Amino acid sequence: MSIVIPAFNEGRTIHRILDRVREVVLIGELDKEVIVVNDCSTDNTEEAVHRYIADHPGLNLRYHRHPLNRGKGAALHTGIALATGEYLIIQDADLEYDPREYNELLRPVLDGFADVVYGSRFQGSKPHRILFFWHTIGNKFLTTLSNAFNNLNLTDMETCYKLFRTEMLQSLTLREQRFGFEPEVTAKISRVPGVRIYEVGISYYGRTYAEGKKIGWRDGVRAIYCIVKYGI
């Protein structure tokens, strides 16, 4: 399974998420391919990743750096193109999502039920940090709007944890350079003939802006535009 990690100014914590990824034992005897895409960070992200590679030669970790900052979506495009695993999951470089839950997303695929699995922060009984009221309202609005255009019943379209059959994801033409990736990939994957999309509950250890959260209201406006554009 390919694990694509877009990173921008995450030098302070990226070693911690890489530790958690490295420690996970995947079901189905799957191996891990970790792909870190540094979107032209201005901190010590690059040095931290190179140091980690040197300290853990047994981990299949590939590193790519963008010469210019292009956005999270662009970093994901690069990672998706580089992936060679049969399956692919997206992992943020911060500590908001728990890699120990990869197997929860893998299980419906390996059991033969799903091609795509979304990890929902609003489903199930996993821990969920209490943060911003208006973020939650915005997320639910965007998910509902996306569902209406794509004829889905997801509970968390904006989630980071999305697991795909790699070949299916690589067959899509993705254009959004920033956080518009989420509504775009949802719209386009929902139109793949015969695709089977599942959702499982995951935990969420959210960050405040003081702790490094980057998404803002402009990204929400762009998400509405993307939902309508790619939905139509």
Residue type for position 29 = E
CB 94 within 8 A of CB 212: yes
For each of the chain's 232 residues, which pLDDT tens digit applies? Answer: 999 999 999 999 999 999 999 999 999 999 999 999 999 999 999 999 999 999 999 999 999 999 999 999 999 999 999 999 999 999 999 889 999 999 999 999 999 999 999 999 998 768 767 666 777 888 899 999 999 999 999 999 999 999 999 999 999 999 999 889 999 999 999 999 999 999 999 999 875 556 555 566 677 888 999 999 999 9
Q: For residue 97, which phi and psi values (nearest 5 degrees)? A: -120, 145
- How far, in Å, are 39, 103, 107, 144, 158 from residue 100 at the CA level? 25, 7, 13, 28, 20
CB neighbourhood size of 232 (10 A): 7
* DSSP notation for 145-174: HHHHHHT---S-TT-S-EEEEHHHHHTS--
- How far, in Å, are 23, 36, 40, 128 from residue 118 at the CA level? 22, 21, 28, 16
Q: Kindly state the DSSP code that residue 80 receives in the 8-state scheme.
A: H
CB neighbourhood size of 137 (10 A): 10
Q: For residue 147, which phi and psi values (nearest 5 degrees)? A: -60, -40
Q: Among 83, 92, 80, which residue's Cα sits nearest to residue 179?
A: 92
Q: Among 165, 169, 163, 156, which residue's Cα sits nearest to residue 206?
A: 156
Q: Among 33, 4, 41, which residue's Cα sits nearest to residue 212?
A: 41
